[in-house]
Amino acid sequence: LDRAELRELKGIPLTTATYSIWDQVWKFKARPDDLLISTYAKAGTTWTQEIVDMIQQNGDVEKCRRATTYRRHPFLEWYIPEPSSLRYSGLELAEAMPSPRTMKTHLPVQLVPPSFWEQNCKIIYVARNPKDSLVSYYHFHRMNKAMPEPGTWEEFMEKFMTGKVLWGSWYDHVKGWWKAKDKHRILYLFYEDMKENPKQEIQKILKFLEKDLTEDVLNKILHNTSFEVMKENPMANYTKDFPGVMDHSLFPFMRKGVVSDWKNYFTVAQNKKFDEDYKKKMADTSLVFRTEL
């Protein structure tokens, strides 16, 4: 498997494979009862998928572990063409899926297929503070051979700050979705809140999905979606999907799962530069992120 090459679509770097099927992605036909889980990469997508699946299956762990993560919630724009033996088309999987469907995307809000808005679909968006997102994204690039070459830590930080990474600028992504939530059915969650009070955040999801579960089931979901349990769950940890693509001996997909790991990577000078740049890029939003708990 070769590392992905990027090609910009309306200013957003996507993989060349996604780029090649873009017309079909854009024309995707959403259905009114579709649920979309949307994030900038590494914000806690898989965690949210596990929570949503557990809710949908009323806490039945066995049912949740029937499929692989890539198949239970088609990854809308992710495409690995033939001749790769890893061929994957999130689009095709989604089209063939019976309703109600849950899908996943990392697209910035302006690239979401318009029919999601026309059908007034529910969307759960999860955001994570930029410093931990950057650290997590860097490690993910290193262990996942399907991602572009990250370069050194310094180089990757630069690319992240300038939006020259897959799915574009983190800053524009979180801001764009933040604005969109005022007009559409979007539940906007934060990774840090999920860490601090998972029960409360799961309850927000329940309310959004108009689901009511017993306290017992809720506690079961809490337990099974904890970092410790998910780390041992081969499906959540992506050890079943795409064998050979992720080098779990380098870092497992469930790497650390904490807030503030950035402190182990940012030098004082890098932190200062990052903060100054952040202030400029985020001056036009009311969004507030916590980089520690």
Catalytic residue annotation: 106
47 vs 266, beta carbon nearer ligand A3P = 47
61 vs 119, beta carbon nearer ligand A3P = 61
Under rule CB under 6 A, residue 46 binds ligand A3P: yes
115 vs 239, beta carbon nearer ligand A3P = 239
CB of 218 to ligand A3P, least distance (A): 16
CB of 40 to ligand A3P, least distance (A): 8
What token pair was written down for 193? 């809140």
Under rule CB under 6 A, residue 233 binds ligand A3P: no
Under rule CB under 6 A, residue 227 binds ligand A3P: yes
42 vs 122, beta carbon nearer ligand A3P = 42
Q: Out of 6, 14, 42, 171, which residue is the one contacting ligand A3P (CB under 6 A)?
A: 42
Under rule CB under 6 A, residue 141 binds ligand A3P: no
Q: Out of 115, 117, 257, 265, which residue is the one contacting ligand A3P (CB under 6 A)?
A: 257
Residue 64 contacts by C-beta under 8 Å, 6 or more apart in sequence? Answer: 50, 53, 54, 57, 72, 224, 235
Q: Out of 261, 271, 281, 287, which residue is the one contacting ligand A3P (CB under 6 A)?
A: 261
Please spell the DSSP secondary structure of the chain, one letter per residue: -PPPPEEEETTEEEEHHHHHTHHHHHT----TT-EEEEESTTSSHHHHHHHHHHHHTTT-HHHHTSS-HHHHS-BTT-EE-TTSTT-EEHHHHHHHPPSSPEEEE---GGGS-THHHHTT-EEEEEE--HHHHHHHHHHHHHHBTTSPP---HHHHHHHHHHT-STT--HHHHHHHHHHHTTTS-EEEEEHHHHHH-HHHHHHHHHHHTT----HHHHHHHHHHTSHHHHHT-TTTTTSSSSTTTB-TTT--SS----S-GGGGT--HHHHHHHHHHHHHHTTT------S--
Q: Out of 256, 273, 281, 290, which residue is the one contacting ligand A3P (CB under 6 A)?
A: 256
What token pair was written down for 47? 């965690």
Instruction: Give backbone dihedrals phi and psi of 14, rounded to 5 degrees, phi first.
Output: -120, 170
Under rule CB under 6 A, residue 255 binds ligand A3P: yes
Q: Out of 139, 141, 159, 175, which residue is the one contacting ligand A3P (CB under 6 A)?
A: 139
Under rule CB under 6 A, residue 39 binds ligand A3P: yes
Q: Out of 192, 225, 242, 246, which residue is the one contacting ligand A3P (CB under 6 A)?
A: 225
31 vs 204, beta carbon nearer ligand A3P = 204
Under rule CB under 6 A, residue 44 binds ligand A3P: yes
Judged by CB under 6 A, the number of residues near ligand A3P is 20
117 vs 227, beta carbon nearer ligand A3P = 227
Alpha carbon of residue 195 to chain centroid:
16
Give the binding site for ligand A3P (CB under 6 A): 39, 41-47, 132, 136, 139, 225-227, 230, 254-257, 261
